Structure 1
Amino acid sequence: MVNAGDEPTGNPESCVVGVDFGTLSGRAVVVRVRDGEELASAEHVYPHAVLDRELPDGTRLPPDWALQVPSDYIDVLRHAVPAALAAAGVRPEQVIGIGTDFTACTVLPVLADGTPLCELPEYTARPHAYVKLWRHHAAQGQADRINALAAETKEPWLQRYGGKISSEWEFAKALQVLEEDSEIYHRMERWLEAADWIVWRLCGTYVRNACTAGYKGQYQDGAYPSRAYLEALAPGFAGFVTEKLDHPIGALGARAGHLTAEAAAWTGLPEGIAVCVGNVDAHVTAPAAGAVEPGQMVAIMGTSTCHVMSSDQLGVVPGMCGVVDGGILPGLWGYEAGQSGVGDIFA
C-alpha cells in the first residue's frame, strides 16, 4: 500500500476522512481521493455504550429502552480521526473533506443552538432528554396508533413504508416524549437525527439529510404527515412538524458547510474543509460498493441486515421498510428492506 505521507511535500495527494457512528463505537477511515484506496482506520469505543438499564446518574430505565450520551460522539472525533490520520501517515493539510454516517433512526432533543437537553443540569436525570438509539423500542404503543390512524384515514405516505412504520422512527419516539415527559417535549426546539446533529457540530449548519428524512421521518413528495393527521393522533402534537422537525433538506453527497475552528481543533483537520450532508450507515454503502445502477442490490450484514437497491421505477411493495426519492442516490428511488435482528440474535 502506498503511504500518502510519502508524497512530495509540495504535491500532497488529496484525501478524505469518513466517520461511521455505530451502535457501540465510532470508526474513522482515511481514503485517498485519486483511487479510493483505504489508507488506514481507527476506532473509538463509546465510554457510555448503550444505556438500557440506567442513566449515568443511576436513574433506572424501563424495559425496551436504549439511550446514548451525545458527548460520546464528539469523543470519536477527538480520538478516532487523529488516530486514523496518524496510522495512514497523512498530513492534515492533505485532507479536503469529511463525511459521516450514523445508525438510524437515532434521534435527540436539542435547543435551537444544538445543545442536547441531557447536557442541561436540570435534565441529567430525565431519560427523555437523552439520545434515543435506533434500537429503542419503548415507543411501540405510539407506533401502533400511528399505523392504525394512518390506515383508517388512508394517509398516502403509509404505502411507501410497506403498510406500517416502526417504533424506532422519528414520529413514534417524539410522540412518546410528548406523552411521557411533556416538559422535555415543550423544552426541545429541534428534534433531529444524530446523523444531522453531528454534521451540525462539525460545520455549524443544521441540514436534514434526505435519507433519514425519507426513511425515518415519513417525508414523501415534499411533505411530512399533515397537521390535521397529527392533531387527530394526539392532543398537542399538531405542531410537531412545523415547530420541532421541519428544516431544509440536503441532497446526499452535497456539502452541508465547512469545518469550524472548534471541530478542526477536535479532529486535527484543517478549518474550512468541506463537510458532507449526513447519511445512514447502511444506505451509504451502496455507492461505496459500486451498486449505483438501477436494480443493483446490496445486503449490509451487521446488528441488523439491510437490503438496499435503487431503481428508476416507483413501486409499492408490502412489507418494505421504505421507498424514498433520492434516498440512496440522487435521481433514483431508493428501496430498503431487511431483517431487524441478525447480529443481535447471534450475539
Structure 2
Amino acid sequence: MSKGPHYIGIDVGTGSARAALLDISGKIIADSTHETRTWRDTRDHRIFEQSTTDIWASICQCVRDVLSESGVPPEDVKGVGVDATCSLAVTDEHGGPVCVTGGKECGGQGERNIILWADHRAEEEALLINSTGSKVLDYVGGTMSLEMEIPKILWLKKHMPASEFAKCMFFDLPDFLTYRLTGSLARSNCSLVCKCSFVPVGVEGSEGWNAQFLSQIGLDDVVQQGYEQIGGTSGKNGMVLTAGQAVGTGLSAQAAKELGLMAGTTVGSAVIDAYAGWIGTVAGRFTQGSGGELSPQPKLRDSRGRLAAIAGTSTCHIVQSEQGVFVPGVWGPYKNAVFPGWWMNEGGQSSTGQLIDFMIKTHPAYEELKKLAEERKTNIFDVLASTLDDLKKEAGTTSLTYLTKDLHFYPDLHGNRSPLADPRMRGSIVGLALDSGLGDLALKFNVTLEAIALQTRHIIEEMNVHGHKIDSIYMSGSQAKNAALMQLLADVCDVPVILPHSPSAAVVVGAAMLGRFAAEVGARTGDLKTHEEAERVSEQTKEDLWQIMIDMTQPGKQVAPSSSPADKKLLDAKYHIFRQAIDIQRSWRKLMEEAAK
C-alpha cells in the first residue's frame, strides 16, 4: 500500500466518469473508469442529453473502486479535485433533476437533466444573442457559441413552463459536481467566465453579470432573482472561486458515505475538463537530446507559449497570457479561468476523435477492416497503418502526404468552433474515386488526420496573428496515442509536440492537482468566507499551484517536426487548399440562400 497523503482526481468526460488516486509525486496508484449514458434523438441529430443521477452513480463507483484497489484508507485521502465537460446541468431548488427533453416533459421530473456540450439545439438562441452586439461577446471571440450555457438556458426558457423555469438552478457541470460533493453553491471562475457570459468584476467596468445583456435576450427574470439561478453575485448571494480553492467545508456527510471517503475531506473548486488537461500538462518537463536529459524546470511565465491541446471526442486548444488577447473566432480572453490575473484563450474543433470514428465506421470497407483486425489479433489502426505502408510501396513513395496529395478533406461535419465560429459549416471531400475498398478507407483515414492537423494550424495562426507566440503544443487525451496524428501536428504546425507520461490520464491528474492544492492551501488559510478573502488568497497562492503542477507532472517526450522539404511543400499546398475550401463553401452558401429567397 502506498504511504503518505493521497489525492483523488475525478474527471467526467463525454462518455465516461473516471477517478484516479495519486500520491504526492503524481504517480497514479489506482484508476477506475465507468461509462456514462448519452441519449440521442433519432429525429434530430442536434440533441445530446445526459443525467446527473447516472454520472454521480458512476463517480461513486469509480471512487470506491480506487480505494478498494489501492488499499489506501479513506483518512489518507486529503483532497479531491474535479473536472467535467462544459454541459448544462438543470436541477430544482434542492438539487433534484429537472427534465431538459423537448416536449411536454420539459421542466418536469426526469433523469435526462443535462444538455451536453455537443448539443446544438440552441442555434436560434445563439443567433439572437450574437445580434445584440453586447460587450460580453468581446470575451467569447466576438461570437457566442450555441454550445455555451446562456443559449441553452434561453432555449429552456422558451420551451419550459414559466412556473417551472423559475424554480430551476442552472450549473455548468463542473460546478454541479462540487455542489453535489459539498452542498456549497460556490461557483468556479472557470465555468462562469468560460461558458456563462460572466466577465470578472473590474474588467472594463464589469460588475460580473451583465444585467442589460441578460434582459435584452429575454432572461430578465434571472436578473430579477438576483442571478441566484446561475450562481448569484459575489459578496451578496454567491461566491466565485478560482481553480482549486477549497469549496465550503469539504465533503458532505451524505456524499462521503456514497463515495466511501471521510466527511469534511477538502474539495477543490472545479474546472472544465479541457482546463484540467492544461493544468496536467503545461508545467511538464520532457526528455530531449540523445542523452535523454530533462528540459529545464519551467516558470509560470513559460506557460505563455505553450498551447495545451486536449483531444478526445473534440479538441480544445488553450493558451495563457498575462494580458487579454482578443482573437476573433477564438473563445476568450477569459480572466482568472485558472490563475488569478492571467487570461486564457480557447480554440477548438467540435469533432476530432468523433470525426475519425465516423469516417472509419461509415465506410463500406469497415466490416472488412474489423475482420482483418480480428484475424491478425490486433486493432483496426494497426491494420490501417499496414495498408497505408502497402499503398506507399505500390506507389513507389515513402511519403503519406504524397499518397493523398490529390485527396482533400474539409472536416467541419459538426460546424466550426474556431476560428470561424460558424456552426453552419459542413464537411466536404474532393478527389473521390469509384473505390469502396480497404485501400480507399485507409486513404480517407489518413486525409482525416491531415485535415485535423491543418485546422489546428489555422487556429494557431489566428492566435499568433493577434498577439500570442505559441512555440509548442502540449497534448493530452486519447488522440495523443495516435503517433501518425502527433507527427502530422508537429509537421503541419512546425512546432514540437510534447506528449505527457500518460496521455489519457493527464486530465484526471490535473483534477487531482487541484485536490492537493485545496488541501494544502486550505490547511493554511482556513475556510474562505467572503469573496474578497478568496481573491486575496488566490493571488497570494498562485505560485503554490504552479509548483504543484511541476511536482506532479511526470516527464513526457517530445515529437519534433520532421517533414522533408518536399513534404513540407505538399503540406503547405494542402493548407492553401484548406483555406480556399472555407471561402468556396461560404460563397456557395450565399448563392443558395439568394436562390432560395
Q: TM-score, normalised by structure 2?
A: 0.51
Taking the TM superposition and a 5 Å limit, the aligned residue runs for 1:331-342 are: 331-342=341-352
Residue 28 of structure 1: aligned partner:
19
Residue 166 of structure 1: aligned partner:
145
Matched, 1:37 2:27: yes
Residues 299, 305 of structure 1: 8 Å contact kept: yes
Residues 139, 167 of structure 1: 8 Å contact kept: yes
Kindly provide the amino acid, as one letter, of the partner of residue 319 in structure 2.
Answer: M
Matched, 1:142 2:125: yes
Question: Residue 131 of structure 2 aligns to a residue in which SS?
Answer: helix
1:270 Cα offset (Å): 1.3
Matched, 1:286 2:278: yes
Classify 1:124/1:319 alpha carbon distance in 2 versus 1 (closer, same or farther; 3 Å).
closer
Distance 1:167 1:290 in 2: 29
1:63 Cα offset (Å): 3.9
Classify 1:136/1:84 alpha carbon distance in 2 versus 1 (closer, same or farther; 3 Å).
same
1:148 Cα offset (Å): 1.0
Question: Residue 266 of structure 1 aligns to a residue in which SS?
Answer: helix
Matched, 1:50 2:50: no
2:254 corresponds to which of 262, 274, 281: 262
Residue 67 of structure 1: aligned partner:
49
Q: Deviations over 1:65-104 (max 9, x none)?
A: 1111111122123211111222233222211111110001
1:37 Cα offset (Å): 1.1
Kindly provide the amino acid, as one letter, of the partner of residue 325 in structure 1.
Answer: K
1:51 Cα offset (Å): 1.1
User: Over aligned residues, Cα RMSD in angstroms?
Assistant: 2.3
Which structure would you say has the larger Rg?
Answer: 2
Residues 128, 184 of structure 1: 8 Å contact kept: no
Residues 333, 345 of structure 2: 8 Å contact kept: yes
1:144 Cα offset (Å): 0.8
Distance 1:234 1:114 in 2: 25
Residue 456 of structure 2: aligned partner:
none
Classify 1:235/1:102 alpha carbon distance in 2 versus 1 (closer, same or farther; 3 Å).
closer
Distance 1:238 1:74 in 2: 27
1:211 Cα offset (Å): 0.6
Mean Cα deviation higher: 13-22 or 256-265? 256-265
Residue 234 of structure 1: aligned partner:
218
1:181 corresponds to which of 160, 173, 180: 160
More helix by share: 2
More strand by share: 1
Residues 25, 45 of structure 1: 8 Å contact kept: yes
Classify 1:271/1:125 alpha carbon distance in 2 versus 1 (closer, same or farther; 3 Å).
farther
1:114 Cα offset (Å): 1.8
Distance 1:15 1:326 in 2: 27
Residues 77, 266 of structure 1: 8 Å contact kept: no
Residues 109, 190 of structure 1: 8 Å contact kept: yes
Distance 1:177 1:95 in 2: 39
2:264 corresponds to which of 269, 272, 294: 272
**Structure 1 residue runs without a partner (length 5+):** 5-11, 55-60
1:127 Cα offset (Å): 4.2
Kindly provide the amino acid, as one letter, of the partner of residue 289 in structure 1.
Answer: T
**Structure 2 residue runs without a partner (length 5+):** 202-206, 233-237, 284-299, 358-597
Distance 1:171 1:237 in 2: 14
2:176 corresponds to which of 197, 200, 215: 197
Matched, 1:345 2:352: no
Identical columns (%): 27
Distance 1:92 1:310 in 2: 36
Residue 311 of structure 1: aligned partner:
321
Residue 116 of structure 1: aligned partner:
97
Classify 1:159/1:144 alpha carbon distance in 2 versus 1 (closer, same or farther; 3 Å).
same
1:243 Cα offset (Å): 4.6
Kindly provide the amino acid, as one letter, of the partner of residue 214 in structure 2.
Answer: L
Residues 302, 342 of structure 1: 8 Å contact kept: yes
Q: TM-score, normalised by structure 1?
A: 0.86
Kindly provide the amino acid, as one letter, of the partner of residue 216 in structure 1.
Answer: K
1:128 Cα offset (Å): 5.3
